[in-house]
Amino acid sequence: MRTALLARRAARAALVLATGSALACGDTAPLSAPERLSPQTAALSRSGHRQRVRVPILHRINPLRADEVACRTIDPAAIAGSVSIALPEAGLRVSFPEGSIPSTTQVCLTAHAGSLLTYSFQPHGLQFGVPVQVLQDLRGTTAYNDRVMARTMIAGYLSAGVQADVDDQGVGTFAETFSTAMYDDAEKPTKTAPASVTFSTVHFSGYALASGRADSLMTR
């Protein structure tokens, strides 16, 4: 039942991604694109400073006992619409549309053991010609149907990796954050009763889903 529901949500995520890809051909940013830098942050970046954001990472109610890993060799010539890789226990699915993979590549997803919603996507540094869509089922997490967490839910890029950018209190230090789209149990868009969340990215490395009070720090 859960697998079928996750598959339906992945199909809808692919539809959202297709819409975003079409917009990307014009002047409008696609849905769930990385957030734009504020003028102040852009100025800091030009001056040699970067703004990194610290946000508490979401928790699973039942921690993963071990890493969950799934790998697939993707041939761009064989993609018809999109192909997906799923981590059923972690409730995660990543969809790769046509034009996303530059050449035949073995892609691996890892959900890390423990209670935090942290992931490593490999090969690190892989760039996509078209954004890939990440879908997270929130049932079994502390964010499920939580209207307070829904207000500040983001996806974050852990540029130094999960071990380096997540502290002992479960707070992630993100080099980049991504806006999210949330859906309720009826698979309808929601801002108050999240049952699943999606975001898109154009590169691979470490990622986490987070929500809560954010703190900023400046680095060189």
Nearest to 123 by CA among 207, 206, 204, 200: 204
Averaged pLDDT score across all residues of the chain: 81
Among the ranges given (3-17, 86-100, 194-208), the one the predictor scored with the smallest mean pLDDT: 3-17
Strands 171-174, 92-97: pairing is unpaired
Three-point CA angle 8, 9, 12, nearest 5°: 90
pLDDT of residue 218 exceeding 60, the answer is: no
d(CA 127, CA 109): 15
Question: b/e per residue, 84-114, with b = 16+ CB within 10 A?
Answer: bbbbeebbbbbbbbbebbeeebebebbbbeb
Largest Cα–Cα separation, the chain: 52
Kindly calculate the radius of gyration of the chain based on its CA atoms and give it in whole angstroms: 17
- DSSP H helices, the chain, are 2-24, 39-46, 147-151, 162-165
**pLDDT at residue 14 in the model:** 43
Q: Is the peptide bond before 88 cis (omega within 30 degrees of 0)?
A: no
Query: pLDDT by residue (tens digit) across 23-81?
Result: 233 332 233 333 333 343 333 333 333 578 999 999 999 999 999 999 999 999 989 88
**Cα gap 165→158, rounded to integer Å:** 6
Q: Alpha helix (H) ranges present in 111-209? A: 147-151, 162-165
Which has the minimum average pLDDT: 5-14, 125-134, 149-158, 178-187? 5-14
7-11, 21-25, 147-151, 152-156: least confident range:
21-25
Apex 107 CA angle, 168 and 207, nearest 5 = 25
